[in-house]
Structure formats: C-alpha cells, structure tokens
C-alpha cells in the first residue's frame, strides 16, 4: 500500500506541475520553460503511444518516429498547398499515420523478435528517405510552416498558453484511451499475447489481428503528436523520422517504466530535462548522457516507476 501511495503521489505532483506550469511561467516571466515543456509534453505523448505496443503489447518497434514525421508532414504539406484548417489537417495526419501503421504492421507482424525490430526500422528509414526526396516540400532542408493550424477561432495555436493546454489535453486524452484499452477485454488479450502468444492462439484468439489493431492505434496516436510537433516548431524535416529519434522514444519508455500508464511521461520529462541541462554544460553532453542512462537501465529495473515502488517498500 505504501509503494502504491509513493508512486501515485509522485505522479500526482508531476501532473499538477504540468497543469500549473503556464501560471509559473507568467508569474516568473520565464517564457522558455513553457516552450520547453510544450515540446516535452508532445514527445511524452509519442512515448506513451509507443508504450502501448512495446510495454503492454510486447512489440519492440524501432521505427515509431516515422509516425511523428508523417503527422508533421501531413500538416506541413497541406499548409503549403493552402489548406490551413486544423479540422482538415489533423484528421489527415491521423489517417495517414493509421494507414502507414496498417501497412507496416501487416508486414512486420509476420515476424517476431529481432526481425520485427529490423523491419520496423527499415520502414521508418524508407519514410525518412522518401521525405528527403520531396523537393517540392523542402527535401533534406525540411519544410517551413508559415501559419499554424486554424481552428476557426475555437483555439489559437499561436497563443503559447492555449497551445500548451491543447497539447496537455491531448496527452491526458491519449493516456485515458490507453487506460481504457489496457483494462478492456481487447487489452487483456493483447497483454496475454505478450506473455504467451502460443497459448492465446491455442484457445482461439486471432493473435495477429489483435496485435495489428493495437499497432494501428499506437501509430495513429503518434501521428497526433507529429501534427502537434509541426505546429510547435513551425517546421518539419526528415530528421524527425530518423532512427535515432525512435531510439529516444524507446529510452523514454524504458526510463520511465515499460508497461506503466504514466511511466513514459516520467521518462520523457527526465530524459529531455537531462538533455537540456547537459547540453548547456558541454557540447559533448551525449558522452555523459549515454553512460548515465545505461546505469539507470542496468540498475533501475522497472525504470522510474519501478524505483518509486521499491522506495515505498523500503
């Protein structure tokens, strides 16, 4: 009971801090912290979507950042062609991500283990190189978005505070959907397939069908993060789909705690704050970050959420 209280208390403090952050930003005059945490929240959403298939479903996708790029390019390309309505851009971003996830899932789920990892990586790299070759939309240089998505006055994405709360609402919405999925009959089957796929098939569950639906839901959620990221940076480039970004998302999930509801949010906050802090100290910050994360993974089984549980039991 104590372990439960500790983990829930820390999670509640984190969520309360995220909700009240714009107030602190306005009172202190620190605009940068609001910009930083807007990015953190968007990538936390992407990490949470990866956790659905990796933590709960046991599908180790190493190409999840592809959906970030697809969602972002859907917004950028439509804006480039004069379609600025968010009511069109966001559904297109979600649909494009879902279709790509359906294609990748239908092919990659025929394999398992390291082969599954490599196929998802290969598809992400394909998306990266296709985006790099789109000369009309910036190619390697990326695409500048001159006007953010327009929601007909319902919400102004050009307003930092309104955009921050939109991103936070999307994060909370995605976490709620994941919670409902995980605790549904569908989610229990997916978790059962992670534990023992052969046994689940033996009792009559179509394993690949359940896994594919879960895979598509995860990709669609990440496409939403991509659409938000494009609006946040006013820019989208092929680099957002590169394999290293997928690796970052995996680290966030593992760092926070795979298979936990708020673990990816914890992981994203810690990872990106460490990145920001170390990058201000030295340009070789990655040499410090790498061993530090390795130690956490080796000796912090279960990530941050697991550590909180052990601290409570202690």
The answer to whether residue 1 is domain-embedded is: no
Q: Which residue has the tokens 């306005």?
A: 26
Q: What is the largest CA-CA distance in the chain?
A: 61
**Same domain as 220, residue 283:** no
- Residue 25 is assigned to a structural domain of this protein: no
Position 86 in a domain: yes
Instruction: Identify which of 193, 251, 245, 196 has the alpha carbon closest to the alpha carbon of residue 222.
Output: 245
> What stretch of H or E contains 152?
none
pLDDT at residue number 312: 63
Please give the pLDDT value at position 314. Answer: 56
Q: Do 212 and 301 belong together in one domain?
A: no
pLDDT in tens, the chain (314 residues): 444 578 888 899 999 999 999 999 999 988 999 999 999 999 999 999 999 999 999 999 999 999 999 999 999 999 999 999 999 999 999 999 999 999 999 999 988 889 999 999 999 999 999 999 999 999 999 999 999 999 988 999 999 999 999 999 999 999 999 999 999 999 999 999 988 888 888 888 898 999 999 999 999 999 999 999 999 999 999 999 999 899 999 999 999 989 899 999 999 999 999 889 888 888 877 788 778 777 776 766 778 888 777 766 65
Residue 20 falls inside a structural domain: no
At 313 the pLDDT is 64
Asked if residue 14 belongs to a domain, the reply is no
Three-state DSSP at 236 gives: strand
pTM value?
A: 0.94
Kindly report the number of other CB atoms within 10 A of residue 296's CB atom.
19
Domain that holds residue 313: 265-314
In a shared domain, residues 238 and 281? no
Boundary (domain end) residue, out of 211, 242, 273: 242
Domain count, the chain: 2
Residue 250 lies in a domain: no
């Amino acid at each position: 009971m104590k372990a439960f209280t500790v983990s829930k208390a820390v999670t509640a403090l984190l969520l309360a801090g995220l909700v009240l952050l714009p107030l602190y930003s306005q009172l202190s005059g620190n605009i940068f912290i609001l910009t930083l945490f807007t990015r953190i929240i968007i990538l936390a959403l992407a990490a949470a979507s990866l956790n659905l298939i990796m933590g709960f479903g046991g599908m180790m996708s190493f190409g999840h950042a592809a959906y970030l790029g697809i969602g972002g390019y859907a917004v950028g390309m439509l804006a480039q062609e004069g379609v600025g309505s968010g009511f069109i851009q966001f559904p297109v971003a979600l649909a494009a991500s879902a279709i790509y996830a359906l294609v990748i899932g239908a092919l990659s789920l025929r394999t398992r283990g390291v082969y599954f990892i490599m196929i998802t990586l290969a598809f992400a790299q394909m998306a990266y190189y296709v985006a790099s070759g789109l000369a009309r939309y910036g190619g390697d240089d990326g695409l500048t978005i001159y006007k953010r998505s327009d929601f007909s006055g319902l919400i102004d994405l050009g307003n930092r505070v309104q955009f921050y709360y939109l991103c936070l609402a999307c994060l909370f919405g995605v976490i709620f959907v994941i919670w409902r999925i995980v605790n549904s009959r569908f989610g229990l089957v997916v978790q059962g397939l992670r534990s023992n796929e052969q046994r689940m098939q033996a009792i009559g569950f179509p394993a690949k069908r359940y896994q594919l639906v879960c895979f598509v839901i995860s990709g669609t959620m990440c496409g939403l993060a991509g659409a938000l990221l494009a609006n946040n940076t006013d820019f989208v480039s092929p680099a957002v789909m590169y394999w290293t970004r997928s690796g970052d998302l995996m680290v966030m999930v593992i760092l926070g705690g795979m298979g936990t509801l708020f673990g990816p949010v914890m992981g994203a906050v810690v990872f990106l704050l460490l990145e920001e802090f170390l990058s201000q100290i030295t340009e070789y910050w990655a040499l410090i970050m790498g061993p530090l994360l390795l130690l956490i993974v080796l000796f912090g089984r279960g990530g941050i959420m697991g550590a909180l549980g052990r601290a409570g039991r202690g």
